[in-house]
Amino acid sequence: MAGEVAPPTLELSPDRLPRHIAIIMDGNGRWAERQNLPRVAGHQRGVDSVRRTTEECARLEIGQLTLYCLSSENWKRPQTEINFLMHLLEQYMIEERSTIMENNVRVRMLGRRNDIPEQVLRELDETVRLSSTNTGMWLNLAINYGSRAEIVDAVRAIGDEIEAGELKAGDIDENIIAEHLYTAGAPDPDLLIRTAGEMRISNFLLWQISYAELWVTEKCWPEFDEATLHDALRAYATRHRRFGGLAR
């Protein structure tokens, strides 16, 4: 149609792309404040960035996209903001189902279910169920997520198996631990993106990002678009990943 802006192109071969991208979506509140808007407007605008990023990653056939939606520490925020975030999450699960299905995306939740309102869990579970037969990209939503809590839960599960005689302590290795994390079955992230210029990991996928390439942008999450994602992917493609070995 006349007036439409052509989508940005990414001139990278598929073998140069990461299999798994993880994103710390930061800066919603700061973006809103710069626009003289309430903080919740930033969260609302951030949903558009989630949609654009999900669709573009699915188009590029990225295997896994993990988004840090709500950390276990975010419950410390004002109750009005928490209530809005829960409403926004519930709304997202309902309104984005068609987009998720059209893009052949599979959804799963990473995190603890406690403290999340029942109606939010109901809509989340329904989206997970509906998308379970899709065959494309996994969209992992880290909700009420903290990496230390994830590791604690994994250790507890392993301990239960030892007590039940299903596992011996001497059998525990990195693979066993990985199999008991929320991300079991997923490859570790190749690329970790953080917005809003912060140089922190913020208790996100501590085990899984041991060898991830890090890329930070000064843009706040509501400003993150396909072109910014492409910048991150081009930067990733120039990295030489040695995994502790020597460059070849």
**CA gap 70, 25 in Å, rounded:** 9
Whether 26 is a known active-site residue: answer yes
Decide if 120 contacts 93 (C-beta within 8 A). yes
Q: How many Å from the N-terminal Cα to the C-terminal Cα in the chain?
A: 48
Q: How far apart are CA 84 and CA 90, in angstroms?
A: 10
Choosing from 15, 26, 114, 153, which is the catalytic residue? 26
Tell me how far apart the alpha carbons of residues 144 and 74 are, in angstroms, rounded to a whole number. Answer: 8
15 is catalytic: no
Phi then psi dihedrals of residue 41, to 5 deg: -65, -30
60 CB-near residues (< 8 Å, 6+ apart): 10, 14, 17, 233
Mark out the alpha helices in the chain (DSSP H runs): 28-34, 39-59, 79-95, 97-102, 118-131, 147-163, 174-179, 226-237
**Catalytic: which of 15, 28, 48, 74?**
74
Burial 75-90 (b: 16+ CB within 10 A, else e): eeeeeeebebbbebbb
Alpha-carbon torsion, ordered 201, 85, 31, 127, to 10 deg: 80
Degrees (nearest 5) of the Cα angle 123, 124, 127?
85
* Catalytic residue annotation: 26, 74
